[in-house]
Amino acid sequence: MGDANYERELDVAVRAVHMACALCQRVQAGLVSHGTGQVKSKDDDSPVTVADWSVQAIVSWILAESFQDQNVSIVAEEDVQTLSKAELADLLASVTKTVNESLAEAPKYGLQSPKKALGATQVLEAISRCNSTGGPTGRHWVLDPVDGTLGFVRGDQYAIALALIEDGKVIMGVLGCPNYPMKNGWLNHHHHQYDESMSSSATDTWEKGCVIYAQKGSGKAWMQPLVQQNKMLEWPNSARQIKVSSIDDPGLATFCEPVEKANSNHSFTAGVAHSMGFKYVMFILIFIFYAILFFPLYK
Q: What angle do CA 90, 95, 100 make, to 5 degrees?
A: 125
Distance (Å, whole) CA 191 – CA 104: 35
Is residue 234 marked as binding? Answer: no
Is residue 147 marked as binding? Answer: yes
Where is 257: in which H helix or E strand?
A: strand 254-257
Distance (Å, whole) CA 128 – CA 130: 5
Q: Helix, strand or coil for residue 133?
A: coil
With contact defined as beta carbons under 8 Å apart, do 83 and 127 qualify?
yes
156 is catalytic: no
With contact defined as beta carbons under 8 Å apart, do 179 and 220 qualify?
no
Catalytic: which of 52, 79, 98, 156?
Answer: 52
3 is catalytic: no
DSSP class of 114: P
Is residue 144 marked as binding? Answer: yes
CB-neighbour burial class of residue 280 (10 A; exposed 0-12, middle 13-18, buried 19+): middle
Identity (one letter) of the amino acid at 128? S
Catalytic: which of 49, 96, 98, 149?
Answer: 149
Residues carrying an active site annotation? 52, 149
Annotated binding site: 77, 144, 147
Annotated binding site for Mg(2+): 77, 144, 147
